[in-house]
Amino acid sequence: MEVLRVENLCKRYRKGGAYAVEGVSFTCEEGEIVGLVGHNGAGKSTTVKCLEGMLPYDDGRVEICGFDMKKRPLAAKARFGFVTDDHAAFTRMTGRGYLSFLGDVYGVPTAERRTRYEELERVLCLGRAIDNLISSYSHGMRQKVCMMGSLLHRPALWVLDEPMTGLDPAAMRSVKAFMRKYASEGHAILFSSHDLAAVAELCDRAILLKKGRQVDVLSLSSHTDGERKLLEERYFDEA
């Protein structure tokens, strides 16, 4: 079943200016991990921000679990969790307070919060820092608390912008394992990354963007060396 549908997405930052994203279309099915790859300025983050509802888009359509982002924004937003590239969070809250806030916003029952927090803590290992102010967190710790918050309501779609940046190798390995497990449970994952190895290792498909346009869709479902080499070749061909 289709969890995310993006059709002909177009975004300009200034009226009359160049398109930051133009004609991007792709889908994301249940149990699938899709990667958005491209060089700096290719439009990965803009695409992600548009489909999250953070940025308005000029044309096109975004549907999450069948809910149109423009017509039914609240229903659509309730069905995905997101992690931004700059790990933005309310820094005057503690990690626990932030998770509690997100639990309220996504309507997670109190009893379930604890179970999910414990499950996520095993993966991300934030430890006692959960009771510290987020303003005191390191880059990686912020990344972790944002990931925890984005998964608290077990969203059908998990959207991550550059998720591996700032994580230590152990956390990176845990996150990768968790992503595979989460997808295998029937959830969809979309993430943007420069890390071609991680994309080849995790993704079933990769959307290749260049200067705001979608230039290729590569199947990576077998996770073979051949697929990885093809991804690298196509990526560097477009450089």
Partner 1 sequence: MKHKLFFSLIEKEVTERFRGVGAAALAVRVLLVGGLAAAFVWFYTRFAAVYTEIGEDGAARTFELLSLSLAALFLLMTAGSAASAVRSVRLAEDLPLFAALPVSRGMLLAAKLVCIYCGQLFVSAIALPVFAHVLSLRGLFSVAAILLLPALAVACGMLLAFPFHAVLRFLRGKFLLSFLFGTALFALGLYGYSLLLGGVKEVLLGGDLKYFFGEKVLSRLALAVKYAYPANLFARALLGQSAPLPALFCISLFALPLGGLLARGLLSGAFRVPSAPEPRLRAGGGRRPVFFALLAKEFVTIFRTPAYAFSYFSVAVVMPLMVYFCMSVGGSLLERLLGVDCSFELALLLTLLYSALTNVFCASNISREGKMFLVSKAMPVSAGQVFAAKVLLSMLVVAFALLASSAALYFAGYLSLGAALTVLLFGLAFSFAQVCFSIKYDFSHPRFPVGTEEAGEGDAVSLVWLALALAIGGGSLALRLLTLFRFGAPSLPYAGFAAGGCCFLAALLSALYLFLHLRRRYDAFAGGDR
Q: Does 1 bind partner 1 (CB under 8 A)?
A: no
Least distance to partner 1 from the beta carbon of 43, Å?
A: 15
> Applying CB under 8 A, what is the total number of residues that bind partner 1?
42
Out of 55, 172, 196, 230, which residue is the one contacting partner 1 (CB under 8 A)? 55
Nearer to partner 1, 92 or 223 (CB): 92
In what order do the strands lie in the sheet containing 213-219? 67-68, 59-64, 2-12, 19-29, 213-219, 205-210, 33-38, 188-192, 157-161, 80-83
Residue 21 in the binding site for partner 1 (CB under 8 A): no
213 binding partner 1? (CB under 8 A): no
For residue 107, the minimal CB distance to partner 1 (Å) is: 7
- CB burial class (10 A; 0-12, 13-18, 19+) of residue 209? buried
Q: Residue 192 and residue 227: Cα distance in Å, rounded?
A: 18
- Integer distance in angstroms from the first to the last C-alpha of the chain? 34
Give the range of 1-9, 53-61, 173-181, 208-216 binding partner 1 by CB under 8 A: 53-61
| Residues sharing a CB contact under 8 Å with residue 34, sequence separation 6 or more, in sequence order | 26, 28, 188, 189, 190, 191, 203, 204, 205, 206, 207
Among 60, 103, 163, 212, binds partner 1 (CB under 8 A): 103
In angstroms, how far is CA 58 from the centroid of its own chain?
22
Return the residue of 18, 54, 177, 217 that touches partner 1, per CB under 8 A: 54
Residue type, 207: I
* Residue 236 in the binding site for partner 1 (CB under 8 A): no
With binding defined as CB under 8 A, does residue 133 bind partner 1?
yes
172 touching partner 1, by CB under 8 A: no
Residue 138 binds partner 1 (CB under 8 A): no
**102 CB-near residues (< 8 Å, 6+ apart):** 108, 149, 150, 152, 153
Classify the C-alpha dihedral 181-131-172-150 as positive or negative. positive
Subset of 60-99 contacting partner 1 (CB under 8 A): 70, 73-75, 77-78, 82, 84, 86, 88-90, 92-94, 96-97
Q: Which stretch binds partner 1 (CB under 8 A): 20-28, 107-115, 179-187, 223-231?
A: 107-115
Tokens of 123: 């993966």
**Chain contacts with partner 1 (rule: CB under 8 A):** 13, 52-56, 70, 73-75, 77-78, 82, 84, 86, 88-90, 92-94, 96-97, 100-110, 113-114, 128, 131-133, 135-136
